[in-house]
Structure 1
């Protein structure tokens, strides 16, 4: 029985175009050709549209927050719309035909990126934007204007190695863009049992990436055992092995620059796993001299796109790419120790592993749920100083696109920067009135590290790292413990995520803790501008936490 029939869900594999190699559209990713086949989405007609006949600079942004910053700089010299509507979630928004049409008319495109936006949004932007239009990623490019960047540091408390997949490098030498995809395919495996790599959510189905139990099919381009990543991203996975012994897994990497292009071959490599056995002996048996044994921390099976090779990157302390060391695949043994033996959970979604109650060796993913991301926290605007850097970058971008408006853009930006300066002072004073022992921030998802660092608070907890991740039983237990230990008087909920935040509201109710609103990624009918948002958040924090 195939894993899909047994309850696991296969991630989408490649499709073939006549005369071309495999093309791998990930779930929810739509290019320009796919968008043309979509039905017109109801309700879109009421949203603003770009119109090049107005004679104004046509600007499209990914989010409403960026739209507001752009409007304050551009004034009446620009028309500006956002792809993601107010109250929408940039992490999961699906683009429409109207969105694609707006992109075609744009002279300037502003995205946050740093992998904030759903990849479908970025593909819609990049696939439909005219070649002469300016395309700016504010998070990455704002550092030159003194924006403060916070690296993403994931808290890994596993007693085995956390093993993920990574695509490193830009692939610019091949013409790759941020819409391009790195394809990883499992092409061969050996071992005494079966090997599985899969993504899991505690309350959701499993997505199976690699499965050696039904062999790997070269005839269809390894369709059932392939997955994709954007460049410079990594993802979390769980790994399972059905019997003890030494396993090998051979991966092939390709770069899909455009959906209709033949993929660029990036190489292949074989990785060795010591499952429930001595890794030193496994290395001898595999012919690996002077092996590097990977036992703990954070490791990624990595595609080095720019050097066209596969390797392994590892930090035993659990850090990200900046602190990982690089090793050749053929010099590494990944240890799956005897203590990794666990029982297969009940539930149809895990039946591809075997029968409930049977034992497997498992390397668990450190973060539950789909969570593909880069190396920096993308929510820079939660520090007003970073929004000021965005404004300066937007100003200079508009001047490049429309030199005749330079004087107006500079004047508008100067006035708005003064308003942001006053807003920064207001947020700092307001939060400063909260007693220091109460400055513990517990939220829906991990979007407020910049606010906390800039204004003297501590992120004490959040339900999930990403709003598209499922809330787990472990998340609930940790949240309950945090609230009781710190005795926080209030937790904070993003209004647009209320329907997906039952854990936060239920745990708060059980502990007689108030739930207060806080705005992270988007506006609504109550808060419709960036300045309003930051002032509202400061007031909400103070009223909820005291002061």
Structure 2
């Protein structure tokens, strides 16, 4: 029988809203059983199938070999979600928000909607922060949303708006994002005054990179207003904050008593969903705890070394005449790059995959109590297999000499593997595979490979079309290009256990000393 109850519940305490967009094919369906399960990725679908067997019909929205960071769902995906009894997403902003909205909006009332990464800590999973070290010689200033906003009805499909409402200063200010192919998307621009178009949005718990460009030296003040849109067409005002900038002048000459000068490291202009405040969220040194500093207490330094020429490119005429210099705090990472504070790739530590399986087991039993014994038996056998897998990966990687345990990959997806099995993430082309690498990133990658004298770098099969830079740098440095699986399978590796065994064996083959 098919289970169809009413009154939607989301296990992670998250509700539903919004819509969908366009795209590709459906993931493979496994089983023909009593309940229908939709997952966002192939890896999650494989874990479900290992517990559910023929009693569960499971498929992935992201198709075989697809990238969950960039996959845009189709109307056909929405129709599949509408037939599901259970949905498993990874989230922690692994998936595009459009994919999350498709799940949350179209899942039938009464179906179970589980955001695995958020809940898995209660099942013993270990999460690690997503640490970004861009090593700029000026402040790296982004935009961020913090807090849950539960009292305002916020959900993971909500949108938090930031709108520029006022600015004073000797020149113009532009906050813009450079897309992967170099096209700028202006969020705020003061040249013609501010209106409703001077606005950008982020999902909850998200962070993004942007450029901050100023046309003249001097003191600037920018006021931003934040609002919360829960999809009902009536955004709720949250608060305002005014931020001061010292552009091309000594920040000490304009800082008031008690104000903090921000001139290095990583800072985000941040909206707090719980308090409505806008403040600076400061990480002065990579690896240290970030701290909240009220907007009125900061002066943001945009020094003379931040001067850059306006490109001779019609797309950048909003900044002024080509060749003229502007003061710019750079975006640091080319392309749209929205992520959270926690690394979402938990499954690269097999113990975290066990936590996912235990959470999935409880969810399947709740959805289909009659199948409880079969699920428990299958889960017990699979968890034992994962114990063996964890030991296998650890034993294999322990054979790599310590000085050669350096991971250089296509994108930043292997922090959990490194921490769990005593490896080091030495470098990657870009943090997110949806981005194009900058000249600085390519230069840094080349220097890392040369300095560490690594024998190999690692490419993900589903990102082979975006691995030209890694392949070329490896060729130039005379090192091998090997294969490692991150977010997706391919025709050669179609299940999680095989994927992790392959990763361990390939790391040993390419980094080991012949053992």
Same fold (TM over 0.5): yes
Cα deviation, 1:153-182, whole Å, max 9, x if unaligned, reads 111422322111111112221222111110
Does the CA-based 8 Å contact 1:152-1:375 persist in structure 2? yes
Q: Which residue of 2 aligns with 1:231?
A: 204
Q: Which residue of 1 aligns with 2:410?
A: 444
Which runs of no fewer than 5 residues in structure 1 stay unpaired?
1-30
With normalisation by structure 2, the TM-score equals 0.92
User: What aligned pairs does 1:63-212 form with structure 2 within 5 A after superposition?
Assistant: 63-200=41-178, 204-212=182-190
- Bigger mean CA deviation after superposition, 462-471 or 448-457: 448-457
- Bigger mean CA deviation after superposition, 141-150 or 291-300: 291-300
Does the CA-based 8 Å contact 2:24-2:73 persist in structure 1? no
Q: Which residue of 1 aligns with 2:11?
A: none
Structure 1 residue 291, shift from structure 2 partner: 2.1
Structure 1 residue 422, shift from structure 2 partner: 1.2
Do structure 1's residue 267 and structure 2's residue 239 form an aligned pair?
Answer: yes
TM-aligned CA distance change 1:33 to 1:446, over 3 Å? closer
Any idea what SS the aligned residue of 1:301 has?
strand
Cα deviation, 1:332-356, whole Å, max 9, x if unaligned, reads 2212123322322343333322223
Any idea what SS the aligned residue of 1:152 has?
coil
Distance 1:501 1:90 in 2: 17
**Counterpart selection for 2:259 from 291, 311, 321:** 291
Q: Which residue of 2 aligns with 1:249?
A: 222
Q: Which residue of 1 aligns with 2:366?
A: 400
**Counterpart selection for 2:379 from 413, 421, 428:** 413
TM-aligned CA distance change 1:474 to 1:529, over 3 Å? same
Do structure 1's residue 489 and structure 2's residue 461 form an aligned pair?
Answer: no
Structure 1 residue 388, shift from structure 2 partner: 0.8
Q: Which residue of 1 aligns with 2:274?
A: 306
Structure 1 residue 55, shift from structure 2 partner: 6.3
Distance 2:114 2:396 in 1: 33
Q: Which structure shows the higher helix fraction?
A: 1
Q: Which residue of 1 aligns with 2:352?
A: 386
Any idea what SS the aligned residue of 2:201 has?
strand
Q: Which residue of 2 aligns with 1:468?
A: 434
Which runs of no fewer than 5 residues in structure 2 stay unpaired?
1-16
Any idea what SS the aligned residue of 2:332 has?
coil
Structure 1 residue 186, shift from structure 2 partner: 0.9
Distance 2:500 2:469 in 1: 25
Do structure 1's residue 515 and structure 2's residue 493 form an aligned pair?
Answer: no
Aligned length: 497
Structure 1 residue 541, shift from structure 2 partner: 1.2
Q: Which residue of 2 aligns with 1:477?
A: 443
Do structure 1's residue 532 and structure 2's residue 498 form an aligned pair?
Answer: yes
Does the CA-based 8 Å contact 2:411-2:430 persist in structure 1? yes
Does the CA-based 8 Å contact 1:247-1:275 persist in structure 2? yes
Does the CA-based 8 Å contact 1:56-1:79 persist in structure 2? yes
Distance 2:433 2:24 in 1: 25
Distance 1:100 1:90 in 2: 16
Structure 1 residue 32, shift from structure 2 partner: 5.6
Q: CA RMSD in A?
A: 2.0
Q: Which residue of 1 aligns with 2:304?
A: 338
Does the CA-based 8 Å contact 2:20-2:99 persist in structure 1? no
Distance 1:89 1:33 in 2: 20
Does the CA-based 8 Å contact 2:245-2:301 persist in structure 1? yes
Do structure 1's residue 317 and structure 2's residue 285 form an aligned pair?
Answer: yes
Distance 2:244 2:454 in 1: 47
Q: Which residue of 2 aligns with 1:276?
A: 248
Distance 2:133 2:468 in 1: 23
Cα deviation, 1:307-344, whole Å, max 9, x if unaligned, reads 12222222322458xx2222322232212123322322
Distance 1:400 1:43 in 2: 30
Cα deviation, 1:470-502, whole Å, max 9, x if unaligned, reads 112112111111212222111111011111111
Does the CA-based 8 Å contact 1:61-1:83 persist in structure 2? yes
- Bigger mean CA deviation after superposition, 247-256 or 128-137: 128-137
Distance 2:511 2:423 in 1: 11
Does the CA-based 8 Å contact 2:139-2:267 persist in structure 1? yes
User: What aligned pairs does 1:417-428 form with structure 2 within 5 A after superposition?
Assistant: 417-428=383-394
Any idea what SS the aligned residue of 2:380 has?
helix
Distance 1:385 1:43 in 2: 31
Cα deviation, 1:202-223, whole Å, max 9, x if unaligned, reads 8522221111112112xxxx12
TM-aligned CA distance change 1:185 to 1:319, over 3 Å? farther
Structure 1 residue 250, shift from structure 2 partner: 1.3
Does the CA-based 8 Å contact 1:84-1:90 persist in structure 2? yes
